[in-house]
Structure 1
Amino acid sequence: MSTLDLIERDPDAFEIVALTAHSDVDGLAAIARRCNARMAVIGDAARYNALRTALQGSEVEAAAGETALVEAAEAGADWSMAAIVGCAGLRPTMAAVKAGGTVALANKESLVSAGALMMDAVEHSGATLLPVDSEHNAIFQCLAGSSLSDVARIILTASGGPFRTRSRDEMRAITPSQAVAHPNWSMGAKISVDSATMMNKGLELIEAVHLFPVGLDRIEILVHPQSIVHSMVEYRDRSTLAQLGSPDMRIPIASALAWPTRMETPCQPLDLATVGRLDFEAPDEERFPALRLARQVAQEGGAAPAILNAANEVAVAAFLKGAIGFLDIAMIVEDVLNRYSAPVPSGIDDVLEADAQARTQARHVMERLTA
């Protein structure tokens, strides 16, 4: 929606090849009509007839299901926004990469689960991969063509989420409604919970390892509650460059949409006099063990990141339904990592198999937990 907001401000500059959604037929059909999209795809195959009915009288082609999502990614767009949440976005994102265009990556789970395979596909297809997560986009801007060999440290900033100052005991009683109320960003429920557990930052750490291969030991996390400094790059001469901006996803999206130039956005200008202060603190891996787990699997590599991501998706979904507690999320992920391992993936099918097995393991862990 943020991408469309920017595109619709300059409609003559863009032609919409394909739009996709998971289940919102009415929303997808309305946008497809408004943008004169060639194709609209609903991920839920059972909603195909509803979408086709909603598009009657238009020239928009209707399609549905996972295969159609992949076909949309292969439909010949010069620029694709990969924003399907979770591992469900892996096949379409890989299809867009293999098509060789420019892929703006907002689906961090794809790169977490299949990082080596995706970066290899980028190299072989000649695709351009532009990070859209505010932190990775900030790093991309701070590098600005500099050599990675000159980088001393990459510093990912984190808001710390809504429970940054809570004790472990206090976090035991956290409810889903509290966890989805992020203090700075407007995000979906799953990403908001990931931010609250700081798993989101752990996933971004793994993502950064692939996007900016300077070595895991040179990528650090720093808590910055105001979410104004989106990340920093320290060079070997000890110059540190930071990218600052209001917490509005349209800013990093615009950076990727207009790259290598710039475009106007309706976002609020940054008023540092009003902000007044910028605070920073070290993350606490005892209160937020997701950070430790993410660094562990980033070091291990192979299928471990896919296992972590899958177990986390299952645990977060269970928490949002009220089936488990807030602190149980990281505990379940760690239990799955200790119980299950898989061979190094040689293809997407291997990644998805590890993902499926990890989900099964996570459900078994939850059954024992709630018995």
Structure 2
Amino acid sequence: MRSICLLGSTGSIGTQTLEVVLNNQEELAIVSMVAGTNVPLFAEQIVKFHPKKVCMKNAEYSRELEDELRDRYKLNSESMPEILSGMDGIIECATMEEIDIVVAAMVGMIGLRPVISAIEKGKDIALANKETLVTAGHLIMPLVKEHGVKLLPIDSEHSAIFQCMQSGGYDEIESLYLTASGGPFRHYSKDELKNVTVKDALNHPNWSMGKKITIDSATMINKGLEIIEACHLFRCSIDKVKVVVQPKSLIHSMVGFQDGAIMAQIGTPDMKVPIQYALMYPRRPRMSGERVDFSKISSISFEEPSENLKGIMLAKKAFEIGGSMTTVMNAANEYAVAAFLDEKISFVEIYELIEYAMDNHLVTENPSLDDILLVEKETYEKLDSYLQRKI
């Protein structure tokens, strides 16, 4: 039995993780859970999975949760989990003695401290939070090695590479091929991109994901973030990581080895597959669901990423500059995506805000965790002022 802490249980990855746990009840158990603000769904999950400890974003939501569990579900003091709040509570959930693996599915920089604390306590990490490696890969990877824990990727692309890497060593990699659907705007001109609406951007052609990552897919910033993650995870230089557009999302990524062989991981676009692989590694128990039917596939096509979608370029530039610049790029993107979803800026202004933040940042080399969190705060403040001036 593997005991799990689930950080971000009410999001897209979190809810699918719980489906995987439900289908593997004899081997997986939820011991602690963390959520942000969705009290009704979190309460429902708690009643179903019986964690010992739970935590919400702040004390107000935690009080609402306790009322919901007591009044709606009639839980008494004996059946009620320990309810915590805030960052201290999140870290307590992630570092419980009986926890074997932490699923890091919280969106944003809030996942950094609990992941680091969990690694320091010897917990394996199933990583779905991009910000962890994008902003703090230089801190995370040495800690993983020092404490002898496993860092198992949940992102479909990195999981695919990890699965392909069972065929060879890191020193045998010639190229990593991150595949991308290209999003809904891969053939749009610059002028067409100016008229993209929030509804348009949330209409991903293949995947069902949370709003933030869906917008990241549309701008292609997600692929830029994945390049940075891949460099950290698989210990390779950025020149070895290629992005290829594969519109049907059948090939989830590929590894080219130095002998000329290329290994590809192929499957339907279902995030439960990489989630289960991370939680059950190295075993592959049966999972129900749709299968690829090759008799219905006449061809698999590839394209180059559109240069009009500047996400890849901006992320690569940030990584090549190094230091705190990846934090600035990531924080600016989070800020800009939130502003776009609130219809405060246009789609193309997402790139504008990221470029402004990067152009106006003095890099800190080898930033500490405190440096990273300070840079994030300063980037948000800088963009607040910039947007106010624009308005």
TM-score interval, normalised by the smaller of the two chains: over 0.9
How big is the alpha-carbon RMSD for the aligned residues of Structure 1 and Structure 2? 1.3
1:86 is aligned to 2:116: no
Name the structure 1 match of 2:235. Answer: 213
1:46-71 deviation digits (Å, cap 9, x = unpaired): 21211122333223111111221111
1:240 to 259, 262, 273: 262
Amino acid at match of 2:372: V
1:45 to 41, 59, 69: 59
| Separation in structure 1 between the aligned mates of residue 304 and residue 43 of structure 2, nearest angstrom | 46
1:279 to 287, 301, 320: 301
| Separation in structure 1 between the aligned mates of residue 365 and residue 124 of structure 2, nearest angstrom | 28
1:12 aligned counterpart, secondary structure: coil
Name the structure 1 match of 2:20. Answer: 6
| Separation in structure 2 between the aligned mates of residue 11 and residue 367 of structure 1, nearest angstrom | 51
Name the structure 2 match of 1:322. Answer: 343
Contact 2:175 2:257 in 1 (8 A): yes
| Separation in structure 2 between the aligned mates of residue 218 and residue 362 of structure 1, nearest angstrom | 33
In terms of mean alpha carbon deviation, does 93-102 or 15-24 score higher? 93-102
Amino acid at match of 2:342: K
Amino acid at match of 1:105: L
Name the structure 2 match of 1:55. Answer: 69
1:253 is aligned to 2:267: no
Q: Which runs of 5+ in 1 are unaligned?
A: none
**Deviation at residue 194 of structure 1 after TM alignment:** 0.4
Amino acid at match of 2:385: H
| Separation in structure 1 between the aligned mates of residue 303 and residue 129 of structure 2, nearest angstrom | 27
Compute the TM-score of the two structures, normalised by the length of structure 2: 0.92
Contact 2:168 2:257 in 1 (8 A): no
Name the structure 2 match of 1:305. Answer: 326
Name the structure 2 match of 1:31. Answer: 45
Q: Which runs of 5+ in 2 are unaligned?
A: 1-14, 71-75
1:204 is aligned to 2:223: no
Contact 1:251 1:267 in 2 (8 A): no
1:75 is aligned to 2:88: no
**Deviation at residue 178 of structure 1 after TM alignment:** 1.1
Amino acid at match of 2:189: S
**Deviation at residue 293 of structure 1 after TM alignment:** 0.9
1:111 aligned counterpart, secondary structure: helix
1:351 is aligned to 2:372: yes
**Deviation at residue 366 of structure 1 after TM alignment:** 2.0
| Separation in structure 1 between the aligned mates of residue 367 and residue 348 of structure 2, nearest angstrom | 34
| Separation in structure 2 between the aligned mates of residue 55 and residue 342 of structure 1, nearest angstrom | 47
2:154 to 108, 124, 132: 132
In terms of mean alpha carbon deviation, does 56-65 or 195-204 score higher? 56-65
| Separation in structure 2 between the aligned mates of residue 6 and residue 241 of structure 1, nearest angstrom | 26
2:174 aligned counterpart, secondary structure: strand
**Deviation at residue 272 of structure 1 after TM alignment:** 2.2
In terms of mean alpha carbon deviation, does 31-40 or 182-191 score higher? 31-40
2:26 aligned counterpart, secondary structure: helix
CA spacing shift, 1:182–1:38, aligned 2, 3 Å? same
1:181 is aligned to 2:195: no
1:336 to 350, 353, 357: 357
1:338-370 deviation digits (Å, cap 9, x = unpaired): 11123124421111011111111222222233x
1:291 is aligned to 2:305: no
Amino acid at match of 1:5: E
Q: How many residues align?
A: 369
| Separation in structure 2 between the aligned mates of residue 73 and residue 86 of structure 1, nearest angstrom | 17
Name the structure 1 match of 2:175. Answer: 153
- Structure 1 runs of 4+ aligned residues shifted over 6 Å read none
**Deviation at residue 261 of structure 1 after TM alignment:** 1.0
| Separation in structure 2 between the aligned mates of residue 243 and residue 265 of structure 1, nearest angstrom | 16
| Separation in structure 1 between the aligned mates of residue 138 and residue 59 of structure 2, nearest angstrom | 30
Contact 1:298 1:305 in 2 (8 A): yes
| Separation in structure 1 between the aligned mates of residue 367 and residue 189 of structure 2, nearest angstrom | 42
**Deviation at residue 111 of structure 1 after TM alignment:** 1.0
Compute the TM-score of the two structures, normalised by the length of structure 1: 0.96
Contact 2:31 2:52 in 1 (8 A): yes
1:55-107 deviation digits (Å, cap 9, x = unpaired): 33223111111221111111131011100011121112222222212110000
Name the structure 1 match of 2:140. Answer: 118
| Separation in structure 2 between the aligned mates of residue 250 and residue 275 of structure 1, nearest angstrom | 23
**Deviation at residue 292 of structure 1 after TM alignment:** 0.7
CA spacing shift, 1:276–1:95, aligned 2, 3 Å? farther
Contact 2:32 2:53 in 1 (8 A): yes
2:263 aligned counterpart, secondary structure: strand
Contact 1:98 1:127 in 2 (8 A): no
**Deviation at residue 146 of structure 1 after TM alignment:** 1.9
**Deviation at residue 260 of structure 1 after TM alignment:** 0.9
2:128 to 106, 125, 129: 106
| Separation in structure 1 between the aligned mates of residue 363 and residue 95 of structure 2, nearest angstrom | 30
| Separation in structure 1 between the aligned mates of residue 133 and residue 150 of structure 2, nearest angstrom | 14
